[in-house]
Structure 1
Amino acid sequence: MSTKPNIVLIVADNLGWGELGCYGGGKLMRGAATPRIDALAQSGMRLLNYNVESDCVPTRSALMTGRHPIRTGAFQSVPPGLPQGLKRTEWTLAEMASEAGYATAHFGKWHLGDVEGRYPSDRGFDEWYGIPRTTDETQFTTSIGFDPEVADIPYIMAGKKGEPSANVKVYDLETRRTIDEELIEKSKAFMRRNALASKPFFLYLPLVHLHFPTLPHKDFEGLTGMGDFADSLAEMDFRVGQIVDEIDDLNLAKDTLFIFCSDNGPEFRAPYRGTAGPWTGTYHTAMEGSLRVPFIARWPGKIPVDANNQIVHVVDLLPTLAEVIGGKVRDDRPIDGVSQLDFLTGGRPVSNREGFLFYIKDELRAVKWRDWKLHFVWEPYVNAGANKLESPYLFHLIQDPKEETDVLVCNTWVLGPMLKMVKAFKDSVKAYPNTPPGELD
């Protein structure tokens, strides 16, 4: 057996803070029980203040690089055929794991580049299977007036390191229902293969659920009696349980850091509306409902069973995992993440970060520091209209979790530490200029 711990990182798509039973959702509140993920939370660390970026692309770029997406230029989704994703000069979590001697696999949604040189197998993964962009595209081929002569047909793809990636089959409304099942089977085979070879592995499993169109596998259709969204939530819970079971069956639980989290706040498109529970807003906003998402980490004997409200950010995953696997973090560029390993394992009672800056695309929208939140631009709901504030809004998130009552006039002292964070970040940008979005390799 390998002496290095395995890493399994499952990222749900558009899973809001309030969907899971262990976060106040589940059967009674959301129509679908989530017993497998709830059990996972009862066996590890459940974060109540884990924060991400505004939507799919920026969060995934932050996860892969440990850098805020404003630095990498990967801060928005664009249609197929246009420059997108991470430049090859960016260094990824998968490359770090590979350099540390790990077998690496990506099964699921990539969304960080859809041309040769930018697929997962070009960026540190030994193998991959999934979608290069997003699930919106499953609607393309059945849309009125769709013309494959001028529009790209979406495909599920696959590739291996050192080989070109290739189309496998059309990604449409039918294959949307079955893709997560496929991802699980490929993940299980990957873990079994490397366990037998006593090789440590890094499995990155970015599931498709619960992204719209939120359609369940036929085996789960009608299961809850609460519609497609609840059925899909039940399926997602089952799929996560399949991975947990495989790890346990391989007797790898004590040797595996298992992380389950979401990429951003809840789905807002009808009829697949999600919920952020007690928080206001959805993804594409700077509200807490966009920033805070579920995060559960299990590592028996290493991570205690606990729940806390300390700030952790998605950029922290890369340096944290670097410390876990003995990887080396690059020192030739700013890395915004900090290792949270001593915090997660109980050696430190508080997080190693006090706050962070929150951008939507290239606009600084908010700063979060301790229990305070400062908004420079006010847009509480998607497409409500971004209102740049002459006098920022300040909220205390314990006293006012829904961000309803501005208290800046009584607490201007908070501007000091917050604006120092902004200045430090801008100074680093002067020293290491940001990559413009869409820049070619």
Structure 2
Amino acid sequence: MSKDPERPNVVLILADNLGWGELGCYGGGILRGAATPRIDAFAKEGLLLHNFNVESDCVPTRSALMTGRHPIRTGCLQSVPAGFPQGLTRWEKTLPEVLKANGYATAHFGKWHLGDIPGRYPSDRGFDEWYGIPRTTDESQFTSAVGFVADVVEMPYIMKGKAGTPSENVRIYDLEQRRLIDETLVEYSKDWLSRQVNEVKNPFFLYHPLVHLHFPTLPHLNFAGKTKHGDFSDSMAEMDFRVGQLLDHIDSLGIADNTVVIFASDNGPEFRPPYKGTAGPWSGTYHTAMEGSLRVPFIIRWPGHVPPGTTSNEIVHVTDIFSTIASITKSPLPNDRPFDGIDQTPLFNNPVEAKSPREGFLFYIKNELRAIKWRDWKLHYVWEPQVNKSSGKLESPYLFNTTRDPKEETDILAYNTWVAQPMIKLRTEFEKSLRNDPAPPDPLKSL
């Protein structure tokens, strides 16, 4: 545990498919059937971002978070079934590897989704220990599916592992465990945090990727029926409670003053009934290039550094979190590869006056450039406002101003062709960088 303000502890809590409009502090809460008092109170203790942006899917976002590089560089383009090549290549340098080289203790309790074979588990990629699921929580439905045949698929397991030893199966991940897993993950994180404080003198990095609210969105039985608005709202109430448990434990250990705590989501809201979420004023869900896919919750608390009760609408991207945590912890980055993340520490320290050094980014789904976001503008090259409702590549792209038209309903490119200049410049510079840093080949295409 670190008491050195130059090397603070870091706790990163990542919700799964939590839309921008779900939490009370983002305009949801009781309007969505479940109050979120713990996260709402946490937001008042630090900085809440209105314009934090992620990738289109679980794997791309998590790879960007762990490497500070766009998935179009790393080849982590999509979620794929068990038994197929997936995850980060050994060449990629992960955030826990960077922190570990700087003397940090590291742990992962939750959903990984960046590799499911020896050499690619969390304990192989910089984490001292881990417990959770290697892939997606979709798989918890396998054993309950009508007609399920066990001998033709790799069974889903909850796993655990420690650095230097093989990871191992703990138990089958089924619908019963789906209801229990977030409770279990909190217990693992609390135990690990206690051990760092009582036994270890090093600063630490805890990565706690929740399973909620990913479908099937099923609450712990202690929360079933709690909101009287169904499983989704009950699960949101549980998620809020679990985050509160982690925050309370950090406070009880007396380490809050020198611990950076970040709460964010990996993707926009669920689109599958009956677990459909909401992005509030924005249109779309994950798997699209709409603002509802890009923008998700993000809150950071860092006492003495990040002013409490503040908000910002400056653009921040998920790759920036990698670079910012490296900067906060004084952890040097390798100089043999380009990083897409930008250090946002100045913005986080002074959100009222500071501006984000990021003006925009390119948004891909798999290998296809779908949109460019620049300042308050979004240029769509492919129009897919809802999942599987694509009209294909546009001969004339659609342009929207996301402040004046948050639902992205009225194309105004014909009246604002000037915007194409800075956007095409952004695209040209990024694509030039990609040519000098080609991604590994898509493993699915070589099968």
TM-score range, shorter chain: over 0.9
Q: Does 1:103 align with 2:105?
A: yes
Q: TM-score, normalised by structure 1?
A: 0.98
1:316-351 Cα deviation digits (max 9, x unpaired): 011101111111112211100000011101176111
Give the superposition deviation at 1:251.
1.2
| Kept after mapping to 2: 8 A contact 1:54/1:264 | yes
- Listed as ranges, the matches of 1:226-245 within 5 Å are 226-245=229-248
> Which 4+ residue blocks in structure 1 deviate beyond 4 angstroms?
none
Rounded Cα–Cα distance in structure 2 between residues aligned with 1:131 and 1:86: 16
**Residue 423 of structure 1 corresponds to which residue in structure 2?**
428
Give the superposition deviation at 1:250.
1.0
Give the unaligned 5+ runs of structure 1.
none
| Kept after mapping to 2: 8 A contact 1:394/1:408 | yes
Q: Does 1:435 align with 2:440?
A: yes
1:12-46 Cα deviation digits (max 9, x unpaired): 0000000000000001x110000000001111000
**Residue 383 of structure 1 corresponds to which residue in structure 2?**
388
Rounded Cα–Cα distance in structure 2 between residues aligned with 1:153 and 1:351: 45
Amino acid at match of 1:67: R
The residue matched to 2:271 in structure 1 has which SS? coil
How large is the RMSD of aligned CA atoms in angstroms? 1.1
Q: Does 1:169 align with 2:171?
A: yes
Amino acid at match of 2:285: T
Match for 2:359 among 354, 361, 370?
Answer: 354
**Residue 398 of structure 2 corresponds to which residue in structure 1?**
393
Q: Does 1:202 align with 2:205?
A: yes
**Residue 2 of structure 1 corresponds to which residue in structure 2?**
3
Give the unaligned 5+ runs of structure 2.
none
- Listed as ranges, the matches of 1:79-94 within 5 Å are 79-94=81-96
Match for 1:49 among 48, 51, 57?
Answer: 51
**Residue 328 of structure 2 corresponds to which residue in structure 1?**
324
**Residue 222 of structure 2 corresponds to which residue in structure 1?**
219
Match for 2:126 among 100, 124, 127?
Answer: 124
The residue matched to 2:39 in structure 1 has which SS? helix
Match for 1:311 among 309, 315, 319?
Answer: 315
| Kept after mapping to 1: 8 A contact 2:382/2:390 | no
Question: How many pairs does the alignment contain?
Answer: 439
Match for 1:148 among 142, 147, 150?
Answer: 150
The residue matched to 1:358 in structure 2 has which SS? strand
Rounded Cα–Cα distance in structure 2 between residues aligned with 1:254 and 1:421: 39
Amino acid at match of 1:233: M
Give the superposition deviation at 1:385.
2.2
Rounded Cα–Cα distance in structure 2 between residues aligned with 1:397 and 1:149: 49
Give the superposition deviation at 1:300.
1.2
**Residue 264 of structure 2 corresponds to which residue in structure 1?**
261
The residue matched to 1:336 in structure 2 has which SS? coil
Match for 1:340 among 341, 344, 368?
Answer: 344
**Residue 377 of structure 2 corresponds to which residue in structure 1?**
372
Amino acid at match of 1:154: P
Rounded Cα–Cα distance in structure 2 between residues aligned with 1:289 and 1:378: 14
| Kept after mapping to 2: 8 A contact 1:2/1:199 | no
The residue matched to 2:363 in structure 1 has which SS? strand
Rounded Cα–Cα distance in structure 2 between residues aligned with 1:330 and 1:366: 30
Amino acid at match of 2:203: P
1:285-307 Cα deviation digits (max 9, x unpaired): 00000000000000111101211
The residue matched to 1:149 in structure 2 has which SS? helix
Amino acid at match of 1:426: E
The residue matched to 2:100 in structure 1 has which SS? helix
Match for 1:77 among 71, 75, 79?
Answer: 79
**Residue 19 of structure 2 corresponds to which residue in structure 1?**
16
Q: TM-score, normalised by structure 2?
A: 0.97
Q: Does 1:403 align with 2:408?
A: yes
Amino acid at match of 1:389: L
Give the superposition deviation at 1:198.
2.8
Give the superposition deviation at 1:394.
0.6
Give the superposition deviation at 1:386.
4.4
| Kept after mapping to 2: 8 A contact 1:128/1:160 | yes
**Residue 30 of structure 1 corresponds to which residue in structure 2?**
32
| Kept after mapping to 2: 8 A contact 1:84/1:437 | no
Rounded Cα–Cα distance in structure 2 between residues aligned with 1:393 and 1:66: 29
Rounded Cα–Cα distance in structure 1 between residues aligned with 2:210 and 2:93: 23
| Kept after mapping to 2: 8 A contact 1:72/1:437 | no
**Residue 291 of structure 2 corresponds to which residue in structure 1?**
288
